[in-house]
Chains A and B, each alone.
Chain A
Amino acid sequence: KAGVTQTPRYLIKTRGQQVTLSCSPISGHRSVSWYQQTPGQGLQFLFEYFSETQRNKGNFPGRFSGRQFSNSRSEMNVSTLELGDSALYLCASRRRQGVREAFFGQGTRLTVV
């Protein structure tokens, strides 16, 4: 059974650009959560999608957005990139909301220059 797949693994962007990251959950999993991980702030929750609907949202500006497709794949978009957006972006999938165990993908390392 394939794990959570995130693409791309590494990305370098310039300030002001926008970026789209992709996450394919484990087959049969319908809940996808996104996190930003930095050394200073640790893992911070961005949002969670279930059945194509955003169910939870963290405290990030509106430049961060996401969506989920009917096949449960999810994308997150960051517009008008800032240097401080440089981080490891992780997505985690669960079979459904309420299930405790979440499985993480390998992450996308975003560097903004």
Chain B
Amino acid sequence: QKEVEQNSGPLSVPEGAIASLNCTYSDRGSQSFFWYRQYSGKSPELIMFIYSNGDKEDGRFTAQLNKASQYVSLLIRDSQPSDSATYLCAVRRAGNNRKLIWGLGTSLAVNP
């Protein structure tokens, strides 16, 4: 079992719909959770981070964290074709070795 798992997709949604991206992690002690977006041929860019249970909203993006169930999700409202990219979930462990562990990413296609 990989430490951070994401559905590879592709996830296809129509323009204007809500895209829901999910990520599960295995280390219960994980403390910080990140969503990055990576366009093809480009480097990852941070969209949001969350570290408390519940929802965190930033514009059209909402991150949801449920530590008991060990999942974190990203909702994109009013999806636009420009949101088409791979979305990477990353988790930072607790303790001294606080490196980021990454999922393989979910490919999202927003169709006009």
Interface residue SS majority, chain A: strand
Contact residues in A for B99 (Cβ distance below 8 Å): 33, 45, 48, 56, 58
Q: How far is the CA of A83 from the CA of B10 in the complex (A)?
A: 28
Number of contact residues on B: which range applies? Answer: 10 to 19
The answer to whether the Cβ of A42 comes within 8 Å of any Cβ in the partner chain is: yes
Distance in angstroms between the alpha carbons of A79 and B88 in the assembled complex: 29
Instruction: Assess the B44–A90 pair: CB atoms within 8 A.
Output: yes
Q: Beta-carbon contacts of B70-112 to A below 8 Å, as 1s and 0s?
A: 0000000000000000001010000001111111110000000
Most buried by B among A41, A43, A100, A106: A43
How many chain A residues have a CB neighbour from B under 8 Å? 19
B46 within 8 A of A: yes
Q: Is B57 an interface residue (CB 8 A)?
A: no
For B27-60 the 0/1 string (1 means CB < 8 A from A) is 0000010100000001111100100000000000
Assuming the contacts A43-B44, A100-B49, A102-B46, asked whether A56 and B98 have C-beta atoms less than 8 A apart, the reply is: yes
Closest chain B CB from A45 CB (angstroms): 5
A interface with B by C-beta (< 8 Å): 33, 35, 41-45, 48, 56, 58, 90, 100-107
What residues of chain B have their CB less than 8 Å away from a CB belonging to chain A? 32, 34, 42-46, 49, 88, 90, 97-105
